[in-house]
Chains A and B, each alone.
Chain A
Amino acid sequence: EVQLVESGGGLVQPGGSLKLSCAASGFTFSSYGMSWVRQTPDKRLELVATINSNGGSTYYPDSVKGRFTISRDNAKNTLYLQMSSLKSEDTAMYYCATDGFDYWGQGTTLTVSS
Protein backbone atom coordinates (compact mmCIF):
# COMPACT_ATOMS: atom_id res chain seq x y z
CA GLU A 1 0.00 0.00 0.00
CA VAL A 2 1.35 3.39 -1.00
CA GLN A 3 1.83 5.69 1.98
CA LEU A 4 3.02 9.28 2.06
CA VAL A 5 3.40 10.90 5.47
CA GLU A 6 4.20 14.59 5.72
CA SER A 7 5.69 16.29 8.77
CA GLY A 8 7.36 19.51 9.81
CA GLY A 9 4.55 22.03 9.53
CA GLY A 10 3.95 24.71 12.11
CA LEU A 11 3.66 28.40 12.91
CA VAL A 12 6.39 30.62 11.48
CA GLN A 13 6.88 34.37 11.48
CA PRO A 14 6.99 36.25 8.18
CA GLY A 15 10.49 36.06 6.74
CA GLY A 16 11.19 32.81 8.54
CA SER A 17 12.13 29.37 7.27
CA LEU A 18 10.83 25.83 7.64
CA LYS A 19 11.59 22.41 6.19
CA LEU A 20 8.89 19.89 5.42
CA SER A 21 9.46 16.16 5.05
CA CYS A 22 7.47 13.42 3.36
CA ALA A 23 8.22 9.79 4.19
CA ALA A 24 7.26 7.40 1.41
CA SER A 25 6.58 3.67 1.52
CA GLY A 26 4.80 0.96 -0.42
CA PHE A 27 6.38 1.73 -3.79
CA THR A 28 9.81 2.14 -5.36
CA PHE A 29 10.36 5.76 -4.35
CA SER A 30 13.55 6.17 -6.40
CA SER A 31 11.67 5.44 -9.63
CA TYR A 32 9.13 8.23 -9.37
CA GLY A 33 9.05 11.96 -9.67
CA MET A 34 7.42 13.69 -6.72
CA SER A 35 5.68 16.97 -6.07
CA TRP A 36 4.49 19.27 -3.32
CA VAL A 37 1.02 20.77 -3.68
CA ARG A 38 -0.52 23.30 -1.32
CA GLN A 39 -4.12 24.03 -0.49
CA THR A 40 -4.79 27.56 0.65
CA PRO A 41 -7.48 28.50 3.20
CA ASP A 42 -9.91 29.23 0.33
CA LYS A 43 -9.37 25.58 -0.78
CA ARG A 44 -7.51 26.43 -3.95
CA LEU A 45 -4.85 23.87 -4.99
CA GLU A 46 -1.47 24.98 -6.30
CA LEU A 47 1.56 22.95 -7.39
CA VAL A 48 4.59 24.46 -5.64
CA ALA A 49 7.47 22.15 -6.57
CA THR A 50 8.30 19.07 -8.61
CA ILE A 51 11.42 16.90 -8.67
CA ASN A 52 12.31 14.04 -10.98
CA SER A 53 13.23 10.56 -9.82
CA ASN A 54 16.97 11.12 -9.36
CA GLY A 55 16.73 14.69 -8.12
CA GLY A 56 18.48 16.12 -11.14
CA SER A 57 15.58 18.24 -12.38
CA THR A 58 13.23 20.50 -10.47
CA TYR A 59 10.39 22.88 -11.24
CA TYR A 60 8.89 25.79 -9.31
CA PRO A 61 6.16 28.25 -10.21
CA ASP A 62 7.02 31.93 -10.06
CA SER A 63 5.14 32.31 -6.77
CA VAL A 64 7.81 30.33 -4.86
CA LYS A 65 10.85 30.36 -7.16
CA GLY A 66 13.97 31.41 -5.30
CA ARG A 67 12.33 30.83 -1.90
CA PHE A 68 11.44 27.12 -1.94
CA THR A 69 13.77 24.19 -2.64
CA ILE A 70 12.59 20.64 -3.24
CA SER A 71 14.99 17.77 -2.66
CA ARG A 72 14.94 14.05 -2.01
CA ASP A 73 16.95 11.31 -0.36
CA ASN A 74 16.26 8.09 -2.24
CA ALA A 75 18.21 6.07 0.31
CA LYS A 76 15.79 7.25 3.00
CA ASN A 77 12.66 7.26 0.80
CA THR A 78 12.07 10.84 1.85
CA LEU A 79 11.05 14.00 0.04
CA TYR A 80 11.78 17.48 1.40
CA LEU A 81 10.64 21.05 0.90
CA GLN A 82 12.87 23.79 2.28
CA MET A 83 10.95 27.05 2.53
CA SER A 84 12.49 30.42 3.26
CA SER A 85 11.48 34.11 3.19
CA LEU A 86 8.01 32.93 4.10
CA LYS A 87 5.03 35.20 3.51
CA SER A 88 1.50 35.20 4.88
CA GLU A 89 0.27 34.00 1.50
CA ASP A 90 2.28 30.79 1.95
CA THR A 91 -0.15 29.79 4.70
CA ALA A 92 -1.67 26.51 3.53
CA MET A 93 -1.92 22.77 3.95
CA TYR A 94 1.06 21.20 2.16
CA TYR A 95 0.68 17.81 0.53
CA CYS A 96 3.31 15.62 -1.04
CA ALA A 97 2.15 13.58 -4.02
CA THR A 98 3.53 11.18 -6.55
CA ASP A 99 4.24 13.04 -9.76
CA GLY A 100 1.23 11.62 -11.55
CA PHE A 101 -0.78 13.01 -8.62
CA ASP A 102 -2.28 9.56 -8.16
CA TYR A 103 -1.31 9.29 -4.48
CA TRP A 104 -1.32 12.08 -1.88
CA GLY A 105 -0.27 12.28 1.75
CA GLN A 106 -2.55 13.55 4.52
CA GLY A 107 -0.85 16.95 4.58
CA THR A 108 0.95 19.17 7.05
CA THR A 109 -0.15 22.70 7.91
CA LEU A 110 1.99 25.83 7.60
CA THR A 111 0.82 29.07 9.15
CA VAL A 112 2.84 32.21 8.51
CA SER A 113 1.89 34.90 10.97
CA SER A 114 3.42 37.28 13.46
Chain B
Amino acid sequence: DVVMTQTPLSLPVSLGDQASISCRSSQSLENSNGNTYLNWYLQKPGQSPQLLIYGISNRFSGVPDRFSGSGSGTDFTLKISRVEAEDLGVYYCFQGSHVPRTFGGGTKLEIK
Protein backbone atom coordinates (compact mmCIF):
# COMPACT_ATOMS: atom_id res chain seq x y z
CA ASP B 1 0.00 0.00 0.00
CA VAL B 2 1.11 3.58 -0.65
CA VAL B 3 1.89 5.29 2.65
CA MET B 4 1.11 8.99 2.83
CA THR B 5 3.18 10.85 5.42
CA GLN B 6 2.16 14.36 6.45
CA THR B 7 4.29 16.89 8.29
CA PRO B 8 3.97 18.55 10.67
CA LEU B 9 1.42 16.75 12.83
CA SER B 10 0.42 20.06 14.39
CA LEU B 11 0.83 23.56 12.97
CA PRO B 12 0.23 26.48 15.33
CA VAL B 13 -0.35 29.70 13.40
CA SER B 14 -1.48 33.25 13.95
CA LEU B 15 -4.42 34.55 11.95
CA GLY B 16 -3.11 36.19 8.78
CA ASP B 17 0.02 34.02 8.67
CA GLN B 18 0.96 31.78 5.77
CA ALA B 19 0.78 28.05 6.50
CA SER B 20 2.39 25.18 4.65
CA ILE B 21 1.68 21.44 5.00
CA SER B 22 3.78 18.72 3.42
CA CYS B 23 2.65 15.31 2.19
CA ARG B 24 5.09 12.64 1.01
CA SER B 25 4.08 9.37 -0.63
CA SER B 26 6.03 6.11 -0.41
CA GLN B 27 5.99 5.80 -4.20
CA SER B 28 5.39 8.10 -7.12
CA LEU B 29 1.76 9.11 -7.58
CA GLU B 30 2.12 9.64 -11.33
CA ASN B 31 0.33 6.67 -12.80
CA SER B 32 0.72 4.94 -16.14
CA ASN B 33 -1.52 7.45 -17.95
CA GLY B 34 0.56 10.38 -16.71
CA ASN B 35 -2.04 11.59 -14.21
CA THR B 36 -1.43 12.28 -10.53
CA TYR B 37 -4.39 11.83 -8.23
CA LEU B 38 -3.49 13.81 -5.13
CA ASN B 39 -6.20 15.57 -3.15
CA TRP B 40 -6.31 17.73 -0.03
CA TYR B 41 -9.18 17.80 2.45
CA LEU B 42 -10.08 19.93 5.46
CA GLN B 43 -12.06 18.48 8.33
CA LYS B 44 -13.46 21.20 10.54
CA PRO B 45 -14.44 20.31 14.12
CA GLY B 46 -17.59 18.19 14.18
CA GLN B 47 -17.83 18.00 10.38
CA SER B 48 -16.97 15.53 7.65
CA PRO B 49 -13.92 16.10 5.42
CA GLN B 50 -14.43 18.59 2.62
CA LEU B 51 -12.49 18.61 -0.64
CA LEU B 52 -10.18 21.58 -1.11
CA ILE B 53 -7.73 20.59 -3.86
CA TYR B 54 -7.80 17.80 -6.46
CA GLY B 55 -5.24 16.69 -9.01
CA ILE B 56 -2.39 18.34 -7.04
CA SER B 57 -3.34 21.96 -7.68
CA ASN B 58 -6.98 22.38 -8.76
CA ARG B 59 -9.23 24.18 -6.30
CA PHE B 60 -12.64 22.58 -5.81
CA SER B 61 -15.80 24.62 -6.34
CA GLY B 62 -16.11 27.45 -3.81
CA VAL B 63 -12.62 27.06 -2.33
CA PRO B 64 -10.93 30.44 -1.76
CA ASP B 65 -7.83 31.27 -3.78
CA ARG B 66 -5.74 31.59 -0.61
CA PHE B 67 -5.49 27.78 -0.82
CA SER B 68 -2.98 26.40 -3.30
CA GLY B 69 -1.46 23.01 -4.00
CA SER B 70 1.78 22.04 -5.66
CA GLY B 71 4.21 19.19 -6.09
CA SER B 72 4.95 16.16 -8.19
CA GLY B 73 6.07 12.56 -7.92
CA THR B 74 6.25 11.86 -4.20
CA ASP B 75 6.32 15.34 -2.65
CA PHE B 76 3.33 17.63 -2.36
CA THR B 77 2.50 20.83 -0.50
CA LEU B 78 -0.64 22.66 0.53
CA LYS B 79 -0.26 26.37 1.22
CA ILE B 80 -2.68 28.77 2.84
CA SER B 81 -1.60 32.31 2.07
CA ARG B 82 -3.41 34.16 4.88
CA VAL B 83 -4.94 31.91 7.53
CA GLU B 84 -8.45 32.81 8.61
CA ALA B 85 -10.35 31.46 11.60
CA GLU B 86 -12.55 29.30 9.34
CA ASP B 87 -9.44 27.46 8.09
CA LEU B 88 -8.77 25.79 11.43
CA GLY B 89 -9.14 22.03 11.61
CA VAL B 90 -7.35 18.91 10.38
CA TYR B 91 -5.95 18.70 6.86
CA TYR B 92 -5.57 15.36 5.07
CA CYS B 93 -3.82 14.46 1.85
CA PHE B 94 -5.13 11.56 -0.22
CA GLN B 95 -3.81 9.55 -3.14
CA GLY B 96 -6.06 7.95 -5.73
CA SER B 97 -3.34 6.85 -8.14
CA HIS B 98 -2.78 3.40 -6.68
CA VAL B 99 -5.04 0.73 -5.21
CA PRO B 100 -5.80 0.80 -2.35
CA ARG B 101 -6.41 4.51 -2.26
CA THR B 102 -4.98 5.92 0.95
CA PHE B 103 -5.04 8.98 3.18
CA GLY B 104 -2.35 10.76 5.13
CA GLY B 105 -2.53 10.84 8.91
CA GLY B 106 -3.59 14.48 9.13
CA THR B 107 -2.15 17.85 10.15
CA LYS B 108 -3.96 19.92 12.75
CA LEU B 109 -3.96 23.63 12.01
CA GLU B 110 -4.55 25.54 15.23
CA ILE B 111 -4.22 29.01 16.69
CA LYS B 112 -0.84 29.85 18.20
A: residues with CB less than 8 A from B are: 43-47, 59, 61, 95, 100-107
Contacts and interface: CB of A to CB of B under 8 A. Distances in A.
B48 A105 contact: yes
Contacts of B101: 47
Given A43-B90, A102-B60, A95 B54 contact: no
DSSP class of A's interface residues: helix, strand, loop or mixed? Answer: loop
B15 to A, nearest CB: 24
B5 interface: no
Which one of A45, A102, A105, A107 has the highest number of Cβ atoms from chain B below 10 Å of its Cβ? A45
Interface of B: 39, 41, 47-51, 54, 60, 90, 92, 94, 96, 99-103, 105-106
Contacts of A102: 51, 54, 60
A107 B48 contact: yes
B97 to A, nearest CB: 13
Given A43-B90, A45-B92, A61-B100, A101 B105 contact: no
